Amino acid sequence: MPKKIVIISPGRDCTPWIRALKKEEPNLIVEVYPDDTNREDTDFILTWNPPKNVFENYPNLKVIASMGAGIRHILKENKIPKQAEITKMDDPLLKEDMSYFVLTTALNFLRNIPLYFQQQNDKIWERLAYQRPEEINIGIMGFGNIGVKVGELLVKNKFNVRGWSKSKKSHQHIETFAGDKELTNFLEGSNILVCLLPLTDETEGILSKEIFQQLPKGAYLINVGRGPHLIEEDLKNALKNERLSGAALDVFQEEPLPKDHWFWNHKKIQLTPHTASVTDPESISSQVIENLNRLKKGEELLHVVSLKKGY
Amino acid sequence: MPKKIVIISPGRDCTPWIRALKKEEPNLIVEVYPDDTNREDTDFILTWNPPKNVFENYPNLKVIASMGAGIRHILKENKIPKQAEITKMDDPLLKEDMSYFVLTTALNFLRNIPLYFQQQNDKIWERLAYQRPEEINIGIMGFGNIGVKVGELLVKNKFNVRGWSKSKKSHQHIETFAGDKELTNFLEGSNILVCLLPLTDETEGILSKEIFQQLPKGAYLINVGRGPHLIEEDLKNALKNERLSGAALDVFQEEPLPKDHWFWNHKKIQLTPHTASVTDPESISSQVIENLNRLKKGEELLHVVSLKKGY
């Protein structure tokens, strides 16, 4: 079979990806769905948001590579062919960018920056008491390779960090919690809650009333996971009854966020347009090529996803 | 003479200071101007913004202690009695708070947070390219004990930091520049310029056209020094001709900033109400008492200001 990669990513300008892949491997054939040819010769697909049942067209598919860290977009409307493996990206720059975004957002909460923007709008001069990182417990839900990196940058800046994950992890500077049993303990001490979970059937809707109720009064939510993690009505109520003092949301059920959504106008919500970390093809195309070469040599692939766990 | 401190700080609620000083030294007499008594018995004054010629009422004054890091408010409308020394505060928490404020503000610039707040207001979903700390040179004007601390936190977060001061300093991780001769070199490489200078006759109006012209196009200004450092019309022009892409201002010529000032409505200006760091009497009253005790024992005072340099 030829050394070929087919990109399936409807609505995306694929030029940066093609350029980055060819820079890495000049002889590579790169084709973009639906204009790709000889589908029986295709064993390697690079994709984000593939259309329904698209993989059925590729009888010899071996690798479905997600363009990002998540893979639920692949499972949502597609059956995975038996002989195919799914891989995800492990982008060091993505982890770094995510870490700085969470740090920025947490510091803004401590220093009342969203309130000061509103005060400026209203021409109000009023000093508000600020908090210091060492006075804050920040809880990271989803303590995988991204969560750990985010936590470490926060520790470096004197925050007290705690991480929660499905199965127990340990870390020298970060207190860890695992599973349903330790969730209450984890939540009760978190003045800021950061969602970095993978999106799975289990984690969908996890940011709900049940969780918010267990946080200290006035806690702040940062959702940089996925939109469907959050039950929006529960957030609305938690802001109303002041269980939460505010929320920074970077991800949404529907993106772009519809113009008539109540998030836009809510004074206690800070919106950003899914910009916490943006995958840079330049920084990860070597990973894609590495896996393509491993496939050709019959070697074990990197960053393979467990379909059972879903991440 | 009795162990007494007179506080002169018109318009300020002095209760937190009195409480903090008495906690440190229960037998201390604390009186507040203009209701203080036996002025010939007063050798130690703690002050912010003293009224014109007020020190003339204290024939035996030995120490004028500023409540903050700056002392110009003392010199502005008062002659300093020959036998008196001026001291300033060296508040570790103040340095820490200032550092985090500058970090927060710099990160917000990198991640376009002020623009996203405006986009949210206008219900606009548009991703903007972000920058990483390691791509940024941040120049600190005023590389004294606060500036060094601010620089070190920025270095820890991967910014490239450079410091400029009147006389040459050296630092392991920070490139240093000094005096008029090295000012151009310092400015040419600064994508973000932070003003942390003391306010003196020499530094008043230093943030001017001449400085802005030497910065890289699109640089960002953070003024956490004093309002009179900035020539406001020059800032307006630098924003208009895009020499500067924006400015975060925490200090102003007149505070509170008057309602009709053009800063309030300018889209490229982010205002905060002098909140970068707020002196906490609890954290520094021990310094005041220490100097009072040194005075009584005839020992050398701490944090004495050079009247010649003005800081």
This complex has an ipTM of 0.91
* Contact (CB<8Å) A271/B121: no
- Mean predicted confidence (pLDDT) in B130-134: 97
| Confidence (pLDDT) at B1 | 84
Least confident span in A19-23, A273-277, B89-93: B89-93
> B109, B136 in Cβ contact below 8 A?
no
Which is more confident, B278 or A9? A9
Query: Quick check: is A303 in a domain?
Result: no
Q: Is it the case that residue A20 has pLDDT exceeding 80?
A: yes
Q: Residue A140 phi/psi, 5° resolution? A: -105, 115
B21 pLDDT more than 80: yes
A101 to B123: CB separation less than 8 angstroms, yes or no: no
Q: Do residues A41 and A160 share a domain?
A: no
The string of pLDDT tens digits covering residues B186-218 is 999 999 999 999 999 999 999 999 999 999 999
Residue A100 contacts B where some CB pair is shorter than 8 Å = yes
Average pLDDT, integer, range B278-297? 93
Query: Are A16 and A117 part of one and the same domain?
Result: no
Residues of A whose CB is below 8 A from B117: 114, 117, 270
A21 in the same domain as A125: no
Judge: A273–B119 Cβ closer than 8 Å, yes or no.
yes
Which member of B19, B171, B274, B303 is catalytic? B274
Q: Confidence class of residue B265 from pLDDT cuts 50, 70 and 90?
A: very high
- Whether B72 and B153 share a structural domain: no
A37 DSSP β-pair partners: none
Residue B246 lies in a domain: yes
Clarify whether residues A81 and A109 are in a common domain.
no
Q: Is A61 in the same domain as A98?
A: no
A-chain residue closest to B251, CA distance: A125
List helix spans (H) across chain B: 15-24, 72-75, 92-110, 113-121, 145-156, 183-188, 209-214, 232-240, 281-297
Chain B neighbors of A249, CB-CB under 8 A: none
Do residue B30 and residue B140 come from a single domain? no
Q: How many CB atoms within 10 Å of residue B260? A: 7
Q: Are residues A114 and A145 in the same domain?
A: yes
Which chain B residues are within 8 Å of A256, Cβ to Cβ? 125
Is A84 an interface residue toward B (CB < 8 Å)? no
Give domain status of residue A304, yes or no.
no
Same structural domain, A46 and A135: no
What is the reported pLDDT for A69? 87
A131, A270, A272: which to substitute to probe chain B, counting the most B Cβ within 10 Å? A272
Q: How many domains, in total, are found in chain A?
A: 2
* Mean pLDDT over the full length of chain A: 96
Contact of A274 with chain B, judged by CB distance below 8 Å, is answered with yes
Round to whole Å and give the CA distance between B226 and B258.
16
Tens of pLDDT, residue by residue over A112-127, are 999 999 999 999 999 9
CATH code assigned at B17 = 3.40.50.720
Domain membership flag for residue B310: no
Interface test with A, best of B107, B110, B125 (most A CBs within 10 A): B125
What residues of B are in contact with residue A273 (Cβ under 8 Å)?
116, 119, 125-127
- With beta carbons under 8 A apart, name residues in chain A contacting B126: 273
Q: Are residues A178 and A293 in the same domain?
A: no
A264 close contact with B: CB closer than 8 A: yes
The answer to whether the Cβ–Cβ distance between B264 and A113 falls below 8 Å is: no
Asked if pLDDT for residue B310 goes beyond 80, the answer is no
**B304 falls within a domain:** no
- Does residue A3 carry a pLDDT above 90? yes
Sorted by sequence, the CB contacts under 8 Å of residue A302 that are 6+ apart come out as A87, A90, A287, A290, A291, A294
- The boundaries of the domain holding residue A11 are 4-91+279-297
Q: CB distance B111–A101 less than 8 Å? A: yes
Q: If phi over 0 gives left and psi between -120 and 50 gives alpha, with beta otherwise, what is residue B142?
A: left
Is residue B311, in this structure, part of any structural domain at all? no
Q: Of residues B73, B226, B229, B243, which has the active-site annotation?
A: B226
Residue B303 falls within a domain, yes or no? no
Active site residue B226: yes
Same domain membership, residue A228 and residue A116? yes
A306 is a domain residue: no
Q: For residue B170, name the pLDDT band (cuts at 50, 70, 90).
A: very high
User: In this structure, are A96 and A80 located in the same domain?
Assistant: no
